Amino acid sequence: MFLWLYLTPLLLLIDPHACTAQECAEFVDLDLSHAFIGTSVRVRLLLYTSEKGMCGTLMSHTDPTAHPQFNTSRLTTFLIHGYRPTGSPPRWLPTITELLLARTDMNLIVVDWNNGAATLNYFKAVENTHTVADNLTAFLEKLKENGVSMSSVHMIGISLGAHISGFVGANMNGSIGRITALDPAGPQFTGTLLKDRLDPSDAQFVDVLHTDIDALGFREPLGHVDFYPNAGTDQPGCPKSILSGSSYFKCDHQRSVFLYMESIKRVCEHKAYPCESYRGFLDGLCTSCERFGDAGCPVFGYDVTGWKDVLLKLNQTKTYFTTNPASPFCMTKYRVEVMIWNKAARWGRLTVKLHGADQEAVATIDHAAFEFKRFTGTRLLAQFDKDVKSVMKMSLKFSTGNVLQPKNRLRVLRVRLTPLEGRERPLCRYDVVVEEDREVTFRPLPCQDSNF
Ligand SMILES: [Ca+2]
Ligand SMILES: [Ca+2]
């Protein structure tokens, strides 16, 4: 959202002049009346390159060489949108176009099938995906004839666009370099055969992001690597009530595009952890990245190609990470180990704060109550909303949620914070008493190498 707000004035400045001078082609703008009547498929290919910037060129489907700015030796990226029930152009389209162009010298082809996607009848839009895929397959054959290597083709498909990419990929016998699927559509695709949906054999490398598996997205893994931020179900910051209007339906689904745009812009890094379940990830059971060697766990997004070789060897990898409710979405992870010397075990939730010179980061580990036992290290995963570079103070709060019982206290023998991703040294504090529901703040020390 912030990108869009930020870029809008810029685009308004550039576009009117460019359009009159160069006749820029634009994404078809339809409205609800079109969606109500229904639209028949028409595929338009809008070419964007560094030469013409944000001014799109309507491409010939049969002669890509008709456009001198189309360079066959460059990477060719296709951006394929999904269902458009209101017929409006996707609001994120100018931003992602600009970000991709700024990122790599490429031929960027925005596949505009708004005529075909704009209909109130979702089943009709699903049917149309096959027509779009056949059209794009014919176009790729033309590109091939003109010397474009299929390895240099990257398709980014959103929702239904992900399955369109899969169909095209299968038609090209899996020779396309990469398919990125952003919350691939679930309805009408769940439970279908591999040929009827995206699967890892559709391209040399298939990376998938799931953000709404309980509604519009696809629940099961579909690629070589599948990312499930926040379990892939509901995204933080998205409305929980239908009273919020249409964003209630699309916010989780659309978050996939916003997360991906942040990765193109390299705002920050989401390390993603392979795990059996999201609960296991939150419990801190999956912080090991050894299987990926020195590179560590894969970073979600545009740059995950750096892990391509190892991910292909691992076959299919399902990974998790957690995000903030708004940009920057990345969280900073620490392993927290708490050892107590109370005689009896204690159960409760922990909130950890890190204070820097002018910043405070909070990690609330409240998805479950944890058991703290005498002389036993209880390991937790603390995910902070910000990355505090130099920690000056640290706070702990312990709560049991039990209002009727007398207050508990944790007699902490040692608390140790180990950053999972940075290279900073672990931080410790020895011998501190944490009263229930009362935040205690102290200065952490570099950890001593000892048995406790
Ligand atoms: Ca397939
Ligand atoms: Ca959801």
The pTM of the full predicted model, rounded to 2 decimals, is 0.92
Q: What is the pLDDT of residue 15?
A: 44
Separation of 175 CA from ligand 2 center, angstroms? 33
What's residue 450's pLDDT? 60
Numbered residues of the known binding site for Ca(2+): 197, 199, 202
Which of 2-6, 143-147, 405-409 has the highest average model confidence (pLDDT)? 143-147
pLDDT of residue 243: 75
Residues catalogued as catalytic: 159, 183, 253
Q: Could you give the strand order of the β-sheet that contains 153-158, starting from the edge strand earlier in sequence? A: 57-58, 44-48, 106-112, 75-80, 153-158, 178-182, 205-209, 225-229, 317-321, 273-274
- Predicted confidence (pLDDT) at residue 8 exceeds the cutoff of 80: no
pLDDT at 16 over 70: no
CA of 403 to the centre of ligand 2 (A): 33
Question: What is the set of domains in the chain, with CATH numbers?
Answer: 32-321 (3.40.50.1820), 332-446 (2.60.60.20)
Confidence of residue 328 (pLDDT cuts 50, 70, 90): very high
Q: What is the pLDDT of residues 53-75, one digit of tens each?
A: 999 999 999 999 999 999 999 99
Whole-number pLDDT of residue 3: 45
Q: How far is the CA of 246 from the centre of ligand 2 (A)?
A: 13
Q: What is the mean pLDDT of residues 189-207?
A: 98
Residues near ligand 1 ion, CB 5 Å cutoff: 166, 170, 194, 199, 202
User: Where residue 242 falls among pLDDT bands split at 50, 70, 90?
Assistant: confident
